[in-house]
Amino acid sequence: MEDCVFCKIRKGEIPSTVLYKDEEMMIIKDINPKAKVHLIAIPNEHVPMIEMMTTEGCCELGKFMGKISHMQEELGLTNGYRLIINQGEHAGQTVGHVHVHILGGEQLKDF
């Protein structure tokens, strides 16, 4: 998508701290961190909402969880982490490209 910030980051049109990149996804640092470590896992394919994803796309989101768990140490998430997907208006989704927030690096507050 031409005006999508995450697609622009993937294409190198907007600078970002990219910690991991492969043929399916990338992990970047959130520009406005809500925890000591706040990363975002972003599928390469531009899909605005989960309900618009194919079954395969949804399975990929599951695969992300496995990848993140294997990279836990190198991402600075030694003592655990929280994964969040904001979906739609009530959740406060601001970027219309499905993504998973990864929060950790410190004791997180209950929610």
Nearest distance in Å: CB 81, ligand AMP: 15
CB of 40 within 8 A of CB of 30? yes
Q: Which does 31 bind (CB under 5 to 8 A by kind): ligand AMP, Zn ion, none?
A: ligand AMP
Question: Which residue of the chain is nearest ligand AMP when measured via CB?
Answer: 86
**Contact between 10 and Zn ion (CB under 5 A)?**
no
Nearest distance in Å: CB 108, ligand AMP: 15
Which conformational region is residue 92 in: left (phi greater than 0), alpha (psi within -120 to 50 degrees), or beta? left
CB of 76 within 8 A of CB of 100? no
Enzyme catalytic residues: 99
